[in-house]
Structure 1
Amino acid sequence: MTTKPQKVEHQCDLTPGQFYDTVTGEERGLVKRAFREPLAQFAKDDKETFVEALVFLDLHRRREPDPKARAHAMTIKELQDYFADDEDEEADDSGEG
């Protein structure tokens, strides 16, 4: 008997790529000040910090207190589960959910 994996409740309905497409120039500057590297550099070289920076921006948009500390304290699993998966988007588009 196999168990079916539980569906993860994502904090953001967008995929990381979709969220990245909404980032403004001001937010890119905010990431550079907070993380000391440009967001685009993380996108190329450090996927985990890239997602952490996107979580930071989402928390910042939600006016969460100390969004950098909250994002930095998350485990890799929590960061991976924060945004919707590309597969979730495909399942929604096909009517299977």
Structure 2
Amino acid sequence: MSSPFTLETERTISRPFEPDDAAEAFSWFSDAEVMRYIPSPPDTKVADTVARLRRYITHQETNGFSKWVIIDRQTQRFVGDAGLFHLPEGRGIELGYR
């Protein structure tokens, strides 16, 4: 699946997550140091990341914004994620990045 939404700079490409991104995204969602200040614990299996990305994809489809993957333009490797996400109980919108 290819997203119609992208944000490109000289060095990076950002786009909404896609289901096939889970295996590569697991590398940072499972890293305890990366997830240190994130309310949810690190993912322990790729299935956890699949569920996380499913939430991000649903959020994007519902709200028109969500967390997006950031890709190194030169290597095409994932380097992290960033974006906006509704907080639980309607407490506002969070800007997050990893």
TM-score, length of structure 1 as denominator length: 0.27
Greater length-normalized contact order (CA 8 Å, ≥ 6 residues apart) = 1
| Structure with more of its chain in strand, by fraction | 2
Q: How high is the TM-score relative to the length of structure 2?
A: 0.27
Please say which structure displays the higher CA radius of gyration. 1
